[in-house]
């Protein structure tokens, strides 16, 4: 039997496309490549279609077998000469579509040889595949250190040398803790080699040069590990739309702190997870084995239901990469940032990753904003992720929603990808846009830029099916918490739900309402509901378009009134000559200026004023004048005396 098998695995340079070519004939003398010819035709047609469908197509893994024996002793596969001829044929076809053929591995199996080849398109004109990987884990797990070693190609000294190159703020350098969302890139060429070459003088990376030489760019989203910055981590996981999640675990510390929180967040958002165990050079062998046992037990638990696989060779890398898209398999790497042990396996695995989602260019364009800038000489710049469609230079899009739920027509002045100017961006790619004739103050995180064909509508209210992961007590209507949905981060109120109250582990359909501004939402969009230690996840099931432009639960503003008379109010002062309202009282029904319906004036929240001073110098040396309150002749409210106990338990009069 002569057999050729091409199987698509997660080794792609561009969007994942599954294809299999099977060809079998009886081995006949004189026609050793007859059946292989049918496979060649199918492969050529498939490659030509892909080349015309996308500027850079997905990689293909070819499996060539030579001299293998079946259990009954029958020989199958290619002969040595046929295997070499088949490889030459595949290589010539790859040259026609500007691709490279790379030997991934060669192994002995069943009395013969098996070779795995990767076919990947060469670098195009400023076009490369982008894969986003979120880096999470507990504080001091080595997240920033690993990224510094991977992106700069220089090992750490064990005292935080590598991570210093990635920090953005001074307090991060001083404390060694990441507090903001950082982005770093790792580029691979068509042959799978790393192209990151830091500057020889300052050690900095030029993203433009990396992207020009790369066919695939891994974008690392460096997130904070401290519990104090949990909201920043949640925003990075929801707003930056990672394809995969890299969970970092310190081998000496084990599964502590925020490790389970971050793992649960990735599972709730359906993001595939692979684990990297760091600091194996300083960890005793028994402690390392105990950490691995606890990690495997956690991944196999009913909440995770993963299949942990310890990666120790290149064969393990290829097997895990080919099955990683199923979201069940969870590779575990053991590395050291000081000695560099097993870093080559991690780089090989990253090289074989491909995006999980495919996008179509004919869909209406949609872009979500996760940050804004004001660049001197350029103007307002927004950055974010293209959700779908194709956005070209000078396109006119709708920006919104504003506080009233409206969308503004804007034009795209320039486009940059990874600091490199481009003419267009497609779905799944991150980019930044320079906009015309708009101020930065008019744009906020959570806004979108969409095609006018979508006719976008903003929503104040929506319904979602949520699952309460943890809550110390119960959740009932009128409960408020922070909603993370894409790049949206806003407080929402629960108006109603199909249960009286919710506890940990409960599911319910909940009616939410934003308290500040309307937002642009999608049905089936994932959300995270968070407030303190309360955490819930869910999916939007229904959008409710409301007509009023302000939330119903907004608090009325209270107007502070000044008094013109000393002493307490008397019965005559409380009313007019005929028992009517006092002079200067606000008109009835004006709730915005009332102190509270059905409550006495003295019970309102009055702030004590500082006592007048007779001049002199303050502690800082600045002179100040005594505060003089001008009388309001139009509303002469009486002076109210409030008794307030001081620290010694004595009472004193404070003029309000």
- Reported as a single tens digit per residue, the pLDDT across 334-354 is 999 999 999 999 999 999 998
| Position with higher pLDDT, 636 vs 568 | 568
**Residue 359 placed within a domain:** no
- If asked whether residues 300 and 173 sit together in one domain, one would say yes
Q: What pLDDT, in 10s, does the model give residues 356-414?
A: 887 888 899 999 999 999 999 999 999 999 999 999 999 999 999 999 999 999 999 99
- Domain end marker among 317, 351, 385: 351
- If asked whether residues 479 and 514 sit together in one domain, one would say yes
Q: How far apart are CA 32 and CA 27, in angstroms?
A: 7
Determine which of 204-208, 253-257, 424-428, 558-562 has the lowest per-residue pLDDT on average.
558-562
Expressed as residue numbers, the domain containing 575 is 558-596+604-613+629-656
Q: How far apart are CA 316 and CA 310, in angstroms?
A: 8
Task: Specify the CATH number for the domain of residue 487.
Answer: 2.40.30.10
- Domain end marker among 409, 435, 453: 453
* Mean predicted confidence (pLDDT) in 459-471: 94
- If asked whether residues 64 and 102 sit together in one domain, one would say yes
> pTM of the full predicted structure?
0.73
**Residue 623 placed within a domain:** no
* Mean predicted confidence (pLDDT) in 587-593: 41
If we measure between CA atoms, which residue out of 499, 516, 583, 587 comes closest to residue 554?
516
**Residue 203 placed within a domain:** yes
**Residue 624 placed within a domain:** no
Q: What pLDDT, in 10s, does the model give residues 490-502?
A: 999 999 999 999 9
**Residue 358 placed within a domain:** no
Number of domains into which the chain is organized = 5
| Position with higher pLDDT, 438 vs 563 | 438
**Residue 550 placed within a domain:** no
- Close Cβ partners of 416 (under 8 Å, ≥ 6 residues apart): 422, 431, 432
| Position with higher pLDDT, 168 vs 211 | 211
Are the CB atoms for 131 and 59 separated by under 8 Å? Answer: no
- If asked whether residues 164 and 279 sit together in one domain, one would say yes
* Ranges 96-100, 213-217, 650-654, most confident: 213-217
- If asked whether residues 139 and 252 sit together in one domain, one would say yes
**Residue 473 placed within a domain:** yes
- Domain end marker among 121, 154, 178: 121
The share of the chain scoring above pLDDT 90, in percent, equals 46
Q: Could you give the dihedral angle defined by the CA atoms of residues 207, 209, 212 and 213, in that order, rounded to the nearest 10 degrees?
A: -110
- If asked whether residues 82 and 164 sit together in one domain, one would say no
pLDDT at 576: 42
126 pLDDT tier (thresholds 50, 70, 90) = low
In a 10 Å sphere around its CB, with 0-12 CB exposed, 13-18 middle and 19+ buried, how is residue 206 labelled? middle
Task: Classify strands 75-76 and 68-69 as parallel, antiparallel or unpaired.
Answer: antiparallel
Neighbours of 229 (CB within 10 A): 20
SS3 551: coil
- If asked whether residues 333 and 401 sit together in one domain, one would say no
Q: What pLDDT, in 10s, does the model give residues 537-546?
A: 999 999 987 5
- If asked whether residues 642 and 589 sit together in one domain, one would say yes
pLDDT at 80: 78
Q: How far apart are CA 371 and CA 236, in angstroms?
A: 11
- If asked whether residues 646 and 590 sit together in one domain, one would say yes
If we measure between CA atoms, which residue out of 92, 114, 95 comes closest to residue 103?
114
Which residue is associated with the tokens 């364009």?
Answer: 365
pLDDT at 191: 85
* Ranges 18-22, 54-58, 530-534, 635-639, most confident: 530-534
Task: Specify the CATH number for the domain of residue 172.
Answer: 3.40.50.300
- If asked whether residues 483 and 406 sit together in one domain, one would say no
**Tokens found for residue 358:** 């495919």
pLDDT at 464: 97
Are the CB atoms for 78 and 66 separated by under 8 Å? Answer: yes
Q: Is the model's pLDDT at 650 over the cut of 50? A: no
**Residue 361 placed within a domain:** no
pLDDT at 298: 95
- If asked whether residues 608 and 573 sit together in one domain, one would say yes
pLDDT at 11: 29
CA 64 from centroid of its chain's CA atoms: 39
- If asked whether residues 305 and 202 sit together in one domain, one would say yes
């Amino acid at each position: 039997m002569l057999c050729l098998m091409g199987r698509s695995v997660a080794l792609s340079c561009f969007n994942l496309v599954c294809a299999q070519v099977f060809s079998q004939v009886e081995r006949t003398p004189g026609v050793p490549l007859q059946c292989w010819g049918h496979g060649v035709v199918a492969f050529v047609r498939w490659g030509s279609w892909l080349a015309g469908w996308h500027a850079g197509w997905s990689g293909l893994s070819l499996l060539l077998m030579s001299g293998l024996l079946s259990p009954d002793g029958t020989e199958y596969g290619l002969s040595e000469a046929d295997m070499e001829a088949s490889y030459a044929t595949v290589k010539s076809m790859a040259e026609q579509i500007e691709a490279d053929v790379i030997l991934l591995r060669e192994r002995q199996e069943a009395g013969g040889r098996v070779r795995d080849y990767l076919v990947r398109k060469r670098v195009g004109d400023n076009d490369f595949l982008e894969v986003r990987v979120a880096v999470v884990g507990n504080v001091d797990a080595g997240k920033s250190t690993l990224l510094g070693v991977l992106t700069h190609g220089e090992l750490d000294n064990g005292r935080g040398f590598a991570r210093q190159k990635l920090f953005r703020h001074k307090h991060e350098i001083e404390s060694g803790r990441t507090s903001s969302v950082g982005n770093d890139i790792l580029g691979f060429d068509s042959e799978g080699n790393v192209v990151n070459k830091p500057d020889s003088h300052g050690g900095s990376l030029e993203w433009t040069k990396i992207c020009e030489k790369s066919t695939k760019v891994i974008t690392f989203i460096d997130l904070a590990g401290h519990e104090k910055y949990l909201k920043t981590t949640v925003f990075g996981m929801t707003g930056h739309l990672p394809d995969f999640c890299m969970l970092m675990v310190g081998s000496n510390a084990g599964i502590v702190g925020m490790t389970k929180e971050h793992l649960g967040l990735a599972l709730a958002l359906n993001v595939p997870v692979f684990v990297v165990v760091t600091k194996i050079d300083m960890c005793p062998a028994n402690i390392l084995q105990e950490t691995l046992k606890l990690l495997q037990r956690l991944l196999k638990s009913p909440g995770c239901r993963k299949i942990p696989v310890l990666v120790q060779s290149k064969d393990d890398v290829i097997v895990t990469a080919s099955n990683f898209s199923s979201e069940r398999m969870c590779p575990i790497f053991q590395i050291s940032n000081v000695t560099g042990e097993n870093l080559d396996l991690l780089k090989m695995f990253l090289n074989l990753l491909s995006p999980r989602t495919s996008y179509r260019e004919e869909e209406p364009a949609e872009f979500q904003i996760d940050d804004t800038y004001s660049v001197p000489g350029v103007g307002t710049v927004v950055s974010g992720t293209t959700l779908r469609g194709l956005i070209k230079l000078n396109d006119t899009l709708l920006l919104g929603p504003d506080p009233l739920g409206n969308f503004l027509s804007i034009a795209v002045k320039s486009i940059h990808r990874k600091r490199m100017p481009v003419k267009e961006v497609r779905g799944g790619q991150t980019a930044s846009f320079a906009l015309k004739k708009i101020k930065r103050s008019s744009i906020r995180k959570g806004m979108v830029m969409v095609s006018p064909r979508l006719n976008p509508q903003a929503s104040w209210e929506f319904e979602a099916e949520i699952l309460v992961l943890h809550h110390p007590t119960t959740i009932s209507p009128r409960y408020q918490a922070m909603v993370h949905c894409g790049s949206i981060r806003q407080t929402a109120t629960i108006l109603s739900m199909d249960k009286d109250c919710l506890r940990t582990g409960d599911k319910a359909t909940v009616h939410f309402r934003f308290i500040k501004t309307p937002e642009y939402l999608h049905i089936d969009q994932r959300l995270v509901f968070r407030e303190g230690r309360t955490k819930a996840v869910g999916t939007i099931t229904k959008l409710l378009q409301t007509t009023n432009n302000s939330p119903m639960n907004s608090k009325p503003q209270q107007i502070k009134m000044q008094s013109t008379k000393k002493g307490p109010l008397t019965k005559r002062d409380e009313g007019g000559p005929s028992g009517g309202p006092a002079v200067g009282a606000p008109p009835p029904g004006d709730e915005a200026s009332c102190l509270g319906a059905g409550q006495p004036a003295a019970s309102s929240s009055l702030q004590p004023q500082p006592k007048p001073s007779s001049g002199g110098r303050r502690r800082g040396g600045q002179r100040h004048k005594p505060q003089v309150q001008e009388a309001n002749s139009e509303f002469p409210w009486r002076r109210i005396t409030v008794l307030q106990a001081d620290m010694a338990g004595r009472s004193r009069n404070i003029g309000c």
